[in-house]
A = this chain, B = another copy of it.
């Protein structure tokens, strides 16, 4: 079990945006977070397409959060880069496992899955922000 780079970088990027008193350019995020600008491109796209960040007003003007930091969860950031969490395929729609109806391990994985989702859904970007910054809350 690993958290992939998209999600790790995505979380760092959105925290960077949340912490900034003014709109932030991709380049600034890339520099501060030491992520290749090109790679960050797709990270920003993920956050943007998921409706978590927006361009503040046309090109070159920088990114801001699309909603309040307290209303953005880590799980939303996770889902910007991965489909809904499914630790195993046993409970996927496309699953054809015959044993599914009576499988104690499947039940356990499902339970664990729910709890992990819950853990990620209950942490907001606001809680991960720099305490000094009091905007965007």
Interface residues of A (CB under 8 A from B): 1-3, 8, 11-12, 15, 33-34, 74, 82, 85-88, 99, 103-105, 108-109, 112, 115-116, 119-120, 123, 128-130
Q: How far is the CA of A8 from the CA of B119 in the complex (A)?
A: 22
CB distance from A121 to the nearest CB of B (A): 12
- Give 5 CB contacts A-B under 8 Å: A1-B1, A1-B2, A15-B104, A15-B105, A104-B129
Contact A128 B112 (CB under 8 A): no
CB distance from A123 to the nearest CB of B (A): 6
Count of this chain's copies in the oligomeric assembly: 2
Known: A1-B3, A115-B119, A119-B115. A88 touches B8 (CB 8 A): yes
Using Cβ atoms and an 8 Å threshold, which residues of chain B touch A115?
119
Q: How far is the CA of A104 from the CA of B12 in the complex (A)?
A: 8
Using Cβ atoms and an 8 Å threshold, which residues of chain B touch A109?
3, 8
Contact A128 B116 (CB under 8 A): no
Using Cβ atoms and an 8 Å threshold, which residues of chain B touch A85?
1
Q: Which residue of B lies closest to A109 (CB)?
A: B3
The listed residue with most B CB atoms (<10 A of its CB), out of A104, A116, A129, is: A104
